[in-house]
Amino acid sequence: MLSVIILAAGKGTRMHSSLPKSLHTICGEPMLFHILEVAFSMSDDVHLILHHQKERIKEAVIKRFDKVIFHTQIIEKYSGTGGAIMLEDKTPIPTQYEKILILNADMPLITKNALAPLLESNHNAIGMLNLAHPKGYGRIVLENHQVKKIVEEKDANTKEKEIKSVNAGVYLFERKFLEKYLPKLTNQNAQLEYYLTDLIALGINEKINAILLEEECFLGVNCQVERARAEEIMLERLKKNAMDLGVIMQLPSSIYLEKGVSFKGACILEQGVRISGICQIENAHIKAYSVIEDSEIINSSIGPFAHVRPKSVLKESSIGNYVEVKNAKLQGTKAGHLSYLGDCEIGKNTNVGAGVITCNYDGKNKHKTIIGENVFIGSDSQLVAPINIGSNVLIGSGTTATKDIPSGSLSLSRTTQTNFENGYFKFFKKS
């Protein structure tokens, strides 16, 4: 059995943001959530170390991961990664199991499979990466294939800076090892911090393995450039997973997906498509440059240049150019172009003409539009909610409907057209 400790107490100064670093998103989810998912896939004893903006992080985490055990780092007394897992008396925080995996909260690309080589170690172990350009990383000094010490970049001498083997920032320790050596940690270094890596030198007589890990999965995020790079990698994973399920993507490099998007059946995504939030896409054709957020699209065609906003469900429907739907339920509906359908329910075999608007907001409140089956709504009509339109209804072009329309009705609302003879010439004062 395994306990997992995630370090998330830092400020993330280089992000230049008021948002805690661990809550910056990667493909729609906070970085920390990606790591917590992996942690809970391996353990039922997950600990999160907080300090900077701890209440904000805790509030976000607890909505999704209610079994996390929270700790606050005593940073005024014990700063640094070593201090993160210390109690007041410098003993390690309590854990349920003897085997303890320690992760950083800024590694959103970690996977369970990537951690497997480390977890298979029968001894205390640290994750190691071999980097062509190791600047900024702690160097791993090996002796007879065992870890002698880890030297942080700011404390490394010229020779040590030439080492290509670096600390991946993940550790596997036995609890008895931490109980023995954590109280012996000091902050005698350039940063005046308690380094978790200094445990290696203290435990030099213990067997500590350096386990080579896959570089891509352990990229740290310390600035916006690194966050963007991590998101690119995560996005490629998501798109590959979708295509492995049979999703057809035209120009995949232009398509954006988030982690909460699921696909089923025959799906086609054309170039420039963006699908975010929690979405179910089933047997659907999403045409170029369409945007879908937190919605269900089933047996339907969307776009091009359509916008499906949150809480929408489209089944057996087709919406086209510059149609926007929001909190809408469409069943067997066609809306070809230039319409806004918000806070509405539309029945089967209904055709929505160009320029139709559901006027759902009165300046104070949102109101609903209910439309039945077999309804034809002429172009440039406005449906002023709240309004209920029955089935088998024909609404003439240019109608502004402000009252309910009974089933079987023809509804017209137009002013009389007047033509003024020679009006053009009189207006422009031409003979």
Q: Give me the chain's average pLDDT, please.
A: 95
| Residue in the block written with tokens 């497997």 | 116
Binding residues for acetyl-CoA, by number, are: 354, 360-361, 379, 397, 414
The pTM is what?
0.91
Predicted local distance difference test score (pLDDT) of residue 200: 87
Binding residues, by number, are: 7-10, 21, 80-81, 106, 138, 152, 167, 222, 309, 326, 340, 351, 354, 360-361, 379, 397, 414
108: preceding bond cis by omega (within 30 degrees): no
Question: Is 163 in the same domain as 271?
Answer: no
DSSP letters along 350-375, please? Answer: EEE-TT-EEE-B-SS-B--EEE-SS-
Q: Quick: pLDDT tens for 60-104.
A: 999 999 999 999 999 999 999 999 999 999 999 999 999 999 999
The answer to whether residue 51 is domain-embedded is yes
Domain boundary among 223, 252, 271: 223
Report the residue count for the chain.
431
400 closest CA partner among 341, 367, 337, 358? 358
| Cα–Cα distance, 211 to 57 (Å, whole number) | 31
Domain boundary among 223, 241, 266: 223
Q: For the chain (length 431 residues), average pLDDT per consecutive 10?
A: 96 95 97 98 98 97 97 94 96 97 97 96 92 89 84 88 93 97 92 90 88 94 96 98 98 98 99 99 99 99 99 99 99 98 98 98 96 98 98 97 97 89 88 64
Predicted local distance difference test score (pLDDT) of residue 146: 80
Number of domains in the chain: 2
Predicted local distance difference test score (pLDDT) of residue 431: 64
Q: Which domain holds residue 346?
A: 225-411
The answer to whether residue 33 is domain-embedded is yes
> 52 an active-site residue?
no
Torsion of CA 394, 400, 402, 406, to 10 degrees: -10
The pairs formed by 339-343 with CB atoms below 8 angstroms and a separation of 24 or more are 341/369, 342/309, 342/366, 343/367, 343/368, 343/369, 343/385
Q: At 208, which helix (H) or strand (E)?
A: strand 208-212
Which CATH number goes with the domain that contains 319? 2.160.10.10
* Catalytic one of 24, 307, 337, 367: 337
